[in-house]
Amino acid sequence: MRKIKNICLALILLACLFLPTENVRAETLQDYQNLLNKYKNEVAKYQNEINEAERKIEANKDQIESIKKEVQQMNADIDKMSQEIVDYNNTIKEKSLETKQLFEYLQVARGENLYLEYAFDADTLTDLIYRVSVVQQLTEYNDNLVKSLEEMINNNEKRSKDLAKKQEEYGQRQIELTAQITRLTGMQASLNENSVSSSQQVKIYQDLVNSFKALGCQPKDVIGVDCAQNNNVAGWYRPIDKGYVTSEFGYRWGSLHRAIDVSNGNPYNTKIYPVASGRISSIYHDSYGALTLTIEHKTANGKYYSSLYTHLSKYAPGLYVGKQVGVNDYIGYMGDSGYAMGPHLHLEIAPCRIFNPSDSNCGSWNKYTAYVKKIYSNGSFKGPRDLIYFPKLRVNFTGR
């Protein structure tokens, strides 16, 4: 009997392992508020880092300007000393030549023993001492003059070498500062990009919080249960009345195209409709300026999907985040806003809840794109065609 009980218990436990479990994590208005605060803090953090990068860039630029001025002054000093060296050398040559010519003249005029003759031609001892002193002073003067000029030349040459070395060091420092500016500029661009992404998500979650508050939701209310109940999906439809597919879901140009693109011969007058009933979860411009809108859908069995519509030329009037829309409520017009090669609708659908804090797969844009790539790669989801029938590429269709 005990053996039978143990077998039954084991079967029950085994069955529990394979029973589907439901994520019971509640998503309240406070959850959305917390996520909004998170992205606000990110924006503030990025802005502080951007400001610091700008400060460092300006400081480096100031240092470079200061170095340039010092290098210019050093160039002028080197040029001046180089000219002084030339002048001193010329003076030495001139003085040496003058002294040599003077002595040669005196020696030719009065004999080889000019100094001795001059000295011993004195009449008195005092005159002799004087004459010897004159000869000695003349010789010392010329020697000292040449030595002084040579010393100035040596000093200038040393200073020139020191300045040239310092000039080289400053040049290297200028290269390093320029490299730092390049690095900081790149970091600044990256921070700006991240800041824009976070700023967009701030707007999205701010709109969500505002819409739920407008619907009477309180901080502890579970969205969709205590307030803002969703209409269940009654069916999936194409987003336009007629047209054709211009680009498929899948890899192209080295990256995953997460959408089916559709267009027709009268794009700017073509209304765009939700692919299923649901609740508008975001309205925003993407990083390229494309008018974008997302809708959250819930099926009868409780599974969630999100649909994304972008490159719209304009939105339908009266839209707001949190608004319930049906398949016959148009949400905007086809266009080519943002980065688009011609007017079309870029339609994404994914089995998750974009920008929803309770969704670990799609709670942020980066998580969403990574998740779609993952489920496409493992073959569990192939895009909008898993839910909606579209004819083949460039084949016309009529009817939603």
* DSSP β-bridge partners for residue 271: 333
What span, in angstroms and rounded, lies between the C-alpha atoms of 383 and 385? Answer: 6
For the chain, the residue count is 400
* Per-residue confidence (pLDDT) for residue 97, from 0 to 100: 67
pLDDT digits (tens, 9 = 90+) for 199-212: 767 776 787 788 77
pLDDT > 50? residue 14: no
Q: How far is the CA of 15 from the CAs of 7, 10, 106, in angstroms?
A: 12, 9, 130
What span, in angstroms and rounded, lies between the C-alpha atoms of 375 and 394? Answer: 26
| Mean residue pLDDT across the chain | 78
* Per-residue confidence (pLDDT) for residue 68, from 0 to 100: 78
Number of C-beta neighbours around residue 18 at 10 A: 6
pTM: 0.54
Cβ neighbours of residue 387 closer than 8 Å, sequence gap 6 or more = 236, 275, 305, 349
* Per-residue confidence (pLDDT) for residue 110, from 0 to 100: 46
* Per-residue confidence (pLDDT) for residue 308, from 0 to 100: 96
pLDDT digits (tens, 9 = 90+) for 300-330: 778 899 999 999 999 999 999 999 998 889 9
Using DSSP's 3-state secondary structure scheme, residue 98 falls into helix
Q: 112-121, 128-137, 198-207, 351-360: lowest mean pLDDT where?
A: 112-121
Tokens encoding 191: 């921070």
* Per-residue confidence (pLDDT) for residue 231, from 0 to 100: 60
What span, in angstroms and rounded, lies between the C-alpha atoms of 145 and 162? Answer: 26
Residue range 60-81: average pLDDT?
78
Please state the separation of Cα 304 from the chain's center in Å: 35
How does residue 176 score in pLDDT terms, banded at 50, 70 and 90?
A: confident
Report the DSSP pairing between strands 345-350 and 260-263: antiparallel
245 in Cβ contact with 390 (< 8 Å) = yes
pLDDT digits (tens, 9 = 90+) for 96-109: 666 666 555 555 44
pLDDT > 70? residue 128: no
pLDDT > 80? residue 95: no
What span, in angstroms and rounded, lies between the C-alpha atoms of 362 and 169? Answer: 53
* Per-residue confidence (pLDDT) for residue 368, from 0 to 100: 93
pLDDT digits (tens, 9 = 90+) for 330-350: 999 999 999 888 999 999 999
397 in Cβ contact with 243 (< 8 Å) = yes
Q: 81-95, 135-149, 152-166, 335-349: lowest mean pLDDT where?
A: 135-149
Q: Which residue has the higher pLDDT, 399 or 105?
A: 399
What span, in angstroms and rounded, lies between the C-alpha atoms of 50 and 262? Answer: 39
Using DSSP's 3-state secondary structure scheme, residue 100 falls into helix
How does residue 293 score in pLDDT terms, banded at 50, 70 and 90?
A: very high
- For residue 213, count CB atoms less than 10 angstroms from its CB and return exposed for 0-12, middle for 13-18, buried for 19 or more: middle
* Per-residue confidence (pLDDT) for residue 332, from 0 to 100: 96
How does residue 259 score in pLDDT terms, banded at 50, 70 and 90?
A: very high
pLDDT > 80? residue 362: yes
The alpha helices in the chain, defined as continuous H runs, are: 2-18, 29-110, 114-120, 125-214, 365-377
* Per-residue confidence (pLDDT) for residue 18, from 0 to 100: 34
Q: Which residue has the higher pLDDT, 388 or 192?
A: 388
* Per-residue confidence (pLDDT) for residue 20, from 0 to 100: 34
What span, in angstroms and rounded, lies between the C-alpha atoms of 200 and 364? Answer: 11
What span, in angstroms and rounded, lies between the C-alpha atoms of 84 and 157? Answer: 10
Residue range 129-152: average pLDDT?
67
Q: Which residue has the higher pLDDT, 51 or 177?
A: 51
Dihedral, 263, 264, 270, 271 alpha carbons, nearest 10: -50
What span, in angstroms and rounded, lies between the C-alpha atoms of 276 and 234? Answer: 7
How does residue 280 score in pLDDT terms, banded at 50, 70 and 90?
A: very high
How does residue 182 score in pLDDT terms, banded at 50, 70 and 90?
A: confident
3-state secondary structure 103-142: HHHHHHHHCCCHHHHHHHCCCCHHHHHHHHHHHHHHHHHH
Axis-axis angle for helices 125-214, 365-377 (nearest 10): 70
